[in-house]
Structure 1
Amino acid sequence: MSGFLFVVPPLVGHINPAVGVAAELTARGHRVAWVCADPDLVRRLAGADADVFACDGVTGVERPPDLRGPEALKFLWEGYLVPLADAMAPGVRAAVDGFRPDVVVADQQAFAGALVAERLRLPWATSAATSAEFTDAYDGMPRVAAWLRERLTELRGRIGDPSGTADPRFSPHLVLAFSTPELVGPTGKKGEAIRYVGPSIADRPTEPGFPWEWLDPGRAKVLVTLGTANADAGGRFLAECLTALRERADRVQAVLVDPGGTLAETGGDKDVLILPAVPQLPLLARVDAVICHSGHNTVCEALWHGVPLVVAPIRDDQPVVAAQVVEAGAGIRVRFGRVTEPRLGAALDTVLHEPAHREAAARLRTAFRTAGGAHAAATHLERLGTGRRHDRQPRAETR
């Protein structure tokens, strides 16, 4: 039996992929614990009995909604990721002391997990909740790449091993990429430590009350979602979606997720159902297309079900993931900030009625399910943990 300590930021999209892996390890008899600045969020997603060590986090970060490109990336790192690592580090160290793991499983954006493990000479694995870092996205921006390396070097000097050399985003021991080469593309990173395990799809607690009887079997069904972190930016886009969907009400029925309440909720409407949250996984098994912000989890969960997409990336890794979807043939990209109802409607008509996108989504569905998901990830972690336990065994004296 090995012990695995999952270090995650307080973000749903980064915790969810780890939940299935942690559950699989627990089912195999291993010890599992978590470190997060929001223990209640982990317990909501991983179960009320999850063993969670609290740590400090970063609060009050308000990113201007119009930031894009390198400026958005700089804000993400300076305003959130680096301060989060500094804040989390003491709590991660205390959790290691208290739980005594064989392996630290650090989210790719929870740098504290990797750097503390490096400092304590513990093997660590990277949990890559998005595949954006596996592409050549920074190849054309050498100054941006150099700036990122400088920030990581400074951070290592504060909380890691100053003599260390590993990139805390890519463990030299094991990198769990929750995608496949079929989506990432032929230029995706490769290496002995990188394991493309596909999406980690696990049952999630959901609030009861979704009106499943509302779904009309005679019409195509569309899910519209911008994820949980984009309520501040989505009002205009959701309004354009609503118009396009109503124009197609004779043949399309839609569920539109509006957590920020920018649109009026609908009750008796038989064409568009507007809700603040939905049971996304079971709903994806019933829809024919998804319109989304190209968040990695939403994209992979849609493709896990063989559902083609209309993607409208907003920021961060989303443009990279959107490009992967388009290059794989599984969807169409529209411009989030400038899309109009006619363009959005035309893209939706294409993914609904032209077979090429659905066929590409079906191919990715097969690749995802073949990759092994949480089961494969747990097996790779077990092997890393077994090596750690063997290293701990007393060695016979040589004479």
Structure 2
Amino acid sequence: MKDILTLLRRDSRFDTKLVNDLFFEGAYMDESSYRFILDNLVSWLYDRGENPDDFVERIVKRCADFEAVPARGVLRSYLPFISQFYQTKDVRALCLEIIPKRYPFLTHFSVLSDKVESGMRNMHISFRFETPGALVSNPIRWILGMFRVGPLLLNTPAYEQMDIIATQTSFIEALENRVPAEMRDGNVFVGDRLVGRTATFGDCLDELGFEWENKPEREVGCVLALEDVRDAKTNTLLLRKGCYYGTPSNILDVRFKANVITQEPFLKLMSSVVKQEFAAWQPIQKAQEQLLGAMSDSVEVIYYKSDDSISVNNKHLMRNVPARILRNLLREYMATGREEYENREFKRDPSICMDPLRPNFESRLNRVIAHINGTAEKDGAPGEGVKKFFEIERHRRGGFRFVPKCKIIFREE
């Protein structure tokens, strides 16, 4: 718990809503939230002297032991393909072939080659992100982890080898600000050490012996790593020798024993679903509640009828019409959990807008926001804001959003 809190306290955007969205199955998270979380996680690991690739390796191992995999969600993603897995002659090849259907954020998926020699299967697959870096600055370590987990979840051995040959990630992004590098005369140097040179995507394709339908993409410039580059502190592999960086598409080289099947590929996954539903959920729920409690203390908000005022943690915040607006908002939030509000709801309340022809609600709401933000003056000086506990966002015309950042205890006296 203490370790996780050091991550969450790096940035105020790690609020309770984001932590809940991470926790609850089916919660919506946009691309910017994913990038924020994963980029912060990588920086946090580096600050702790940990190798992010080792971190992903631990995740893969725990998923293989079904300790950290959301089994119900994973099983649901496999439902359209269950019959195929009972008919296939090679479970691990099928895991690769259905990648574009299980991960729709990957596009232009194709199998460039599929060969079997001496019982070993070698597949080259290509895929791309429409917007590279949208989900995370350097996505390859996470993508490789996701691909590698597939067979393990289906009661099948791991791939014997998986390497990235070309990546849309530029060499600058791949270095993750861990090593200073510069380009000189078409060559990439780390200090005085030559670590890469400029090339084209066509050079990569020719080296592999592949045709490419989009001819102009062959001329796209990229950087070929001439040797491995590692982070001195954590030994993280930043640039991989022989890999092309900044290419139009990603190319993966996967080698594994051919025609490996299992009679019951979904046995462990189904067992894990049952175990998680009936044995694991309560301690996970308890841990989530502890985490939220540790992230931020609760706040006590009191509306005093006698003088029409509101206090937050026993400190006066506002009175009169602004206090009534916040009171009405908190009444509804505590009763229903609602966070979205329409201006017209308050304009119809005669205790807030006495003149229906000139309600002037917007200026009154601005006053509430100023008190919350600490920009409203008290005795000629700005007051103390409470936005670390909750805020009001005017995110659209004719409405606003209440944003709680901790547990709110509200009562009226």
TM-score by length of 1: 0.28
Which structure has greater strand proportion? Answer: 2
Q: Which protein has the larger Cα radius of gyration, Structure 1 or Structure 2?
A: 2
